Amino acid sequence: MQQNEISTSAFELESWIDDYSQILLERAYYMLSDKEDAKDVVQEVFFSAYKSRDSFQGKSSPLTWLTSILHHKVADIYKKRYNGSAPSFSFDTFFDKHGEWIEPDVADPWEEDEFAVSALLNNDSFYEVFNQCLENLPRQWLIVVNKCYLQEQKAAEICRELNLSAANYWKLLQRSRLQLRKCIDVHWFKS
């Protein structure tokens, strides 16, 4: 009987791999912005699901359970990345010795046009520029931006997970937004 239960779990996991791999891969790519990392983490999700298959009680859908495992795995990746490296940037790039912006126009407002914004959201070339600008952010900034805007985590959760003070968290977000804005302005609007 026990042998039959194991084969049923294996069969179930096999069908979950068929049914949910693509969904999990897309979610992982959205969260990590790297295809290879996304593939690796999805494999880890299914490996973890197999190892802890007895803990799945069916109270949620398999996709919900697998997505929860995925979120934990991605959080682990970000913790390792964030805590494992020193900043690779200098604030001197953006601020003078008095803490003022070196380029004062970096904070100037863009003109908003709803039609133009809508057109950008449907433009693949814009997304290439935007993703490149994201990749150019310092690693710690990118982690905070991903967690806040892409994963939609709460500020308190991010601060706890990354061991940040609230003030540092908000400064990182502000500086990230300004750098993204400048990068997009230079590489998209002025090109």
C-alpha–C-alpha distance, residues 137 and 152, integer Å: 19
Instruction: List, for residues 141-190, the tens digit of each pLDDT value.
Output: 989 998 888 888 898 899 998 998 888 888 888 888 888 888 888 887 77
**What is the Cα 6 distance to its own chain's centre?**
35
pLDDT tens digits along 73-98:
888 888 777 665 544 545 566 666 66
Q: Are 44 and 73 in contact (CB under 8 A)?
A: yes
- Whether the Cβ atoms of residue 74 and residue 24 lie closer than 8 Å to each other: no
pTM: 0.45
